[in-house]
């Protein structure tokens, strides 16, 4: 999004490119982040190859994506907001992202649960079910809390997972 890029550049003085193709071709980037981006990419393999080639030798890749095996994805079924069809072209499980990273020369260093995403996704899912703004917020907070509790107790993923990997 042009507006988001301009804000990031103007407010934080960081480099933000509209696509991976626009980045310099040499291996000089220390960190590349993809916050809820990978699920929108039509060619995952080509994109991960390009990212690998743009990272420095000790470069880090950070990816955040919704997890289709989360408790709330099962609870909401086709109303789960993170399905987000047709904008989400891929839907991941933890093993899917781990495999993709391995296949493209990355070593997974750490995964983290994204606790706050459960609330946002649950509120949106409640809206998709036809609830008004306030009921969706209240139910979304309750369901998001329950989803996080299930992740904590049963060890299942939260609504979204963060992956931190380095070049192997």
Walk across the sheet containing 55-66 and list its strands.
29-35, 55-66, 160-167, 106-113
pLDDT tens for 6-44 read: 888 999 988 787 877 787 766 688 999 999 999 999 999
Contacts of 157 (CB under 8 A, 6+ apart): 67, 69, 70, 93, 94, 113, 151
pLDDT of residue 134: 98
pLDDT of residue 129: 97
167-to-23, 44, 127, 134 alpha-carbon distances in Å: 18, 17, 40, 45
pLDDT tens for 91-140 read: 999 999 999 999 999 999 999 999 999 999 999 999 999 999 999 999 99
pLDDT tens for 130-168 read: 999 999 999 999 999 999 999 999 999 999 999 999 998
Cα separation, 152 vs 140, whole angstroms: 18
Angle between helices 117-128 and 133-154 (to 10 degrees): 130
Largest separation between any pair of C-alpha atoms in the chain: 51
State yes or no: pLDDT of 3 exceeds 80.
yes
pLDDT tens for 57-68 read: 999 999 999 999
pLDDT of residue 59: 94
Picking from 144, 158, 147, the residue whose alpha carbon sits closest to that of residue 113 is 158
State yes or no: pLDDT of 89 exceeds 90.
yes
Cα separation, 115 vs 132, whole angstroms: 24
């Amino acid at each position: 999004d042009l507006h988001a890029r301009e804000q990031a550049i103007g407010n934080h003085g960081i480099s933000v490119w509209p696509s991976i193709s626009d980045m310099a071709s040499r291996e000089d980037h220390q960190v590349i982040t993809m916050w809820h981006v990978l699920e929108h990419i039509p060619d995952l393999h080509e994109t991960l190859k390009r990212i690998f080639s743009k990272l420095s030798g000790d470069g880090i890749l950070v990816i955040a994506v919704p997890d289709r095996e989360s408790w709330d994805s099962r609870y909401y079924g086709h109303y789960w907001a993170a399905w987000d069809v047709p904008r989400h072209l891929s839907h991941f499980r933890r093993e899917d992202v781990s495999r993709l990273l391995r296949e493209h020369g990355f070593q997974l260093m750490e995964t983290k649960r994204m606790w706050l995403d459960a609330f946002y996704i649950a509120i949106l899912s409640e809206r998709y079910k036809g609830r008004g703004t306030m009921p969706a917020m209240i139910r979304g907070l309750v369901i998001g809390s329950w989803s996080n509790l299930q992740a904590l107790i049963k060890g299942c993923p939260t609504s979204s997972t963060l992956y931190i990997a380095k070049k192997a």
